[in-house]
Structure 1
Amino acid sequence: MSSVLFHSLRVKAIQPDTAEAVVVSFEVPQELREVFGFTQGQYLTLRKEIEGQDLRRSYSICAGVDDGELRVGVRKVKGGVFSNWINEHLQPGDTVNVMAPQGRFFVPIEAESKRHHVGIAGGSGITPILSIMKTVLAREPASRFTLIYGNRSLRSTMFKEEIEDLKDRYMTRLVLHHVFSDEHTDAPINMGLMDRGKIEAFLGTVVPAAGIDHAYICGPFQMNDEAEAALLAAGVPEEGVHVERFGIAQPAAGAGQVGAVVHEAKPGDAEQARITIIRDGLKREIQFYKDQPSILDCASAAGLEVPFSCTSGVCGTCRAKVMEGDVRMERNFALDRHEVAAGFVLTCQAHPMTERVVLSFDER
């Protein structure tokens, strides 16, 4: 089985955006233009050896489809080795291994449509929504976009100048609502946390739920859940609510490491299983034992190069389809119910429940 295709891309530019975030642009050679063609809302998985560790992290593309550039926004994360390295050490001219764009956080563009798209972003969650917003405004000339964007303050707001430029360009089609948790504003609706009550306040006044065709949510875990609940309760159809998750719920004090998953065998798990992995049309058989953490761990231990990034059930990079057998997931923050019903699983969270399982990474 051949190696997962990471491509070495040269850093074209690094632009400071806030005191804690930068925008990284990559040079894409002509022969890789098709490989790195992207849909609005998708992400890149970056790979680099940092302090002796082979690390992978996923970052959303913040460019519009028509920008002619491939770039991501990266905000520092407390204790985040990769994000801090990018902000503090990465330089123009350096190379980074990058996987082709992935992700399903988008709705297909319909040039003739007259739709109302709404983005609900918190902090660095603006990155994929900015890509969606720019592309919708450029390619759906009769549609409009409303952005509700929460930050601590104007100073900490990512892409504030680019968003204001978009507002100047699309004055009648783009509406902006900033919400600041640590900064006073004249309007109470623009102050406070991006919780369910805040989203309900917007839906009940300036952004009526009845007029929303598609809503895109991306931000801290709790904000995502509460915004989604508010939209559904207000009557926005489930198929019109789209959520992209960057992280998982913070544990209570003393509960252990953030993001840690204890993979324990459960009743119904197979004692052992013969698993066939399909990728790029090639098949490889591995043996799984009940005490192994996940199918992804088993595949990696067997020397298979299969796609993954976060290993926390969030990003969806390790998504595969069960072609034969039964599998359960420890947790899932990336797949919607339709994908699960169709047989897709996150291999980093997957445990076989039958002695024979066939998984394909080629099914999309």
Structure 2
Amino acid sequence: MRSPVTTSPAAGSEPDAPLRQALRYALRTPTAGPLAALAGAVLVFSLTTDTFLTPGNLSLVLQQTIVIGILALGQSLIILTAGIDLSNGAIAVLGTIVMAKLVFEGGSPAAALLLGLVVATFLGLVNGLLVARLGLPSFIVTLGALTVVYAAGRLYSDSRSYPVTSDLLVFWGQGVHVGGALVTWGTFLLLGLYAFFWYVLTRTSWGRHIYAVGNAPEAARLTGINVRRTVLSVYVTAGLLYGIAAWQALGRIPNADPNSYQTANLETITAVVIGGTSLFGGRGSVVGTLIGALIVNVLRSGLTQAGIDSLYQDVATGTLVVVAVGVDKVLRRGGAR
């Protein structure tokens, strides 16, 4: 008498199959991990503090994200090409001083705004020429630019701050009240810029060229991509974004101070890396960068309300960066097998 034939269950019907599928999806999607981390942070601070989910605090978190978020957008474009920019905060600060000082001395607000945007874009062009045309390392170029531009800002401002009263220059700090929270116009601009560059990077040839250059510049060159022109265009675009961030900064705090945003370069790199963009180039998403910027500000806000010293906040943020880079390294090593 033959024993009954038994069949093993299909792989997809195993109890842990959905878990494995979710894990594979998370590994394939760079923004999945940061989004889960953001949701987890919001949940923890909502349960451990009484004020985190109040409309006023959520509005403040968004407002604090705007300037760093726009700077991080420019940083993302550069890091996607396997570069880095240490001068973005300095360029934005110089932009605020150029705008505010010209208006303070009786100039036209529109002319001041235009000049500030031009100065920031020009500095992005200079960085791009040194990196793309001369082949200098972006780290060295922008490190030098960081020092030069900050010094130029202090010299131009005579090491003093300039108050801003122009409605045009503080426009992005205004907004509408929704449910007791102030939603500034700058929030809408931030989201609009991220939506625009998400489309550009995922739906246009320029975006595909950026990823190709970041992955393998020599292979990109052999396929007909003008690598130097692509890199130069990225630095110029980033410079313009830094100018827009300067305009946003005046709306956030209507005062141009040459000593402000001195750690903006590190904060933007933190947002980009935590958001899942690889420091080695060619992998990542601007959506992840926006999530990363929100994570940093949610973390700082929640820890502050929990009474945690700011030094420990820096420890937590730094740890996140190291973990994010380590995960990226592991994923790239696994993908190379």
- TM-score normalized by the length of structure 2: 0.23
Q: Which has the higher helix share?
A: 2
Higher strand share: 1
**TM-score in terms of structure 1 length:** 0.22
**Larger RCO: Structure 1 or Structure 2 (Cα < 8 Å, ≥ 6 residues apart)?**
2
Structure (1 or 2) with the larger CA radius of gyration: 2
